[in-house]
Amino acid sequence: MINKIAITMLGTFSFILSIVQLYAQNDTTRSNEFSFGINGVSRFQYFGRTDSLQSSGMVPYIGYQLKCGLYAQGSFIFLENSTTSLNYTGALGEIGYRFQSTKNFSGNIFFTKLFYNENSTLVQSALQYQSGLNAAYINKIINFNFGADLKFSNKTDIGISPGLDHIFILKIRNKIPMALAIDPTAYAYFGTQNFSRTYLEKSSILFIPISQQTVTDNSVKFNLLSYEFSVPIVFVAGKFNINITPSYTIPMNLIPGEYGKNLFYITFGLGVRI
């Protein structure tokens, strides 16, 4: 998918959109490209972790990619919930490189800086930077996807995300190049979790208590964080595109202080590529 949705939503959508546009236009030559648009999110979440206010919002974005594959993009998060109307809460800036897609391969590397309002209620607002890579092995039966990243806050977390998908594309014959894609997708998200455990430790001599002290252990575990199933639907007409993605996420291995539950949500948007 600021949150996972805001990050991976744009990366996954860009991959699907590129394939659909190339299919519609029968052109595999990259060129300098300016893009902008807006996405809506029915429920913000971070690996199934949510706030208790059921926040939703809008994510306008703008980007530019050189024909060599270098790109830069920015996204801006406007959040609303039961206690606040639609309000700016944060942004992300990303730079990266998209590899030239081939018949069987697509991928990118990226570095993202995240900015938050001081009073941001986003679940992952401690996250400051993220860097990583995404890759997809494409074939006629099923596509194999893999992502790996580092997340930087006061601690550093490692994440990996294997996934499967299959893109169904329908080319629509018209004077304007048009195509429709439906992409059933399944991902599993793994990562480290940094957390603390505080307890009282008692000392005794011959079973007689003589003292007690508070002890805090800092622990790091690599766990399955969530499963996610989605069906991105993308329609391209010339330079314009419309997308809608119903998704279902299942959080796993919640630690004390985290709130999460199985969640159905929808992302949708409009975009232009020039």
Residue 38 has pLDDT above 60, yes or no: yes
Residue 21 confidence class, pLDDT cut points 50, 70, 90: low
Residue 220 has pLDDT above 90, yes or no: no
Residue 155 has pLDDT above 70, yes or no: yes
Question: What is the reported pLDDT for 179?
Answer: 86
Which of 58-62, 143-147, 168-172 has the least mean pLDDT?
A: 168-172
Q: What is the mean pLDDT of the chain?
A: 82
Separation between Cα atoms, residue 246 and residue 192, nearest integer Å: 27
Residue 238 confidence class, pLDDT cut points 50, 70, 90: confident
Question: What is the reported pLDDT for 201?
Answer: 54
Residues 12-28: what's their mean pLDDT?
58
- Give the percent of the chain with pLDDT over 90: 39
Greater confidence (146 vs 27) lies with 146
Question: Given 3.10.129.10, 3.40.190.10, 2.40.160.40, 3.20.20.140, which CATH number is that of 4-273?
Answer: 2.40.160.40
3-state SS string for the chain: CCCHHHHHHHHHHHHHHHHHHHHHHCCCCCCCEEEEEEEEECCCCECCECCCCCCEEEEEEEEEECCCCEEEEEEEEEEEECCEEEEEEEEEEEEEEECCCCCCEEEEEEEEEEEECCCCCCCCCCCCEEEEEEEEECCCCCEEEEEEEEEECCCEEEEEEEEEECCEEEEECCCCCEEEEECCEEEEEEEEEEEEEEEEEEEEECCEEEEEEEEEEEEEEEEEEEEEEECCEEEEECCEEEEEEEEEEEECCCCCCCCECCEEEEEEEEEEEC
Question: What are the structural domain ranges in the chain?
Answer: 4-273
- Give the percent of the chain with pLDDT over 70: 78
Residue with tokens 């980007």: 63
Question: What is the reported pLDDT for 204?
Answer: 59
Residue 17 has pLDDT above 80, yes or no: no
Q: Which pTM was predicted?
A: 0.84
Residue 31 confidence class, pLDDT cut points 50, 70, 90: confident
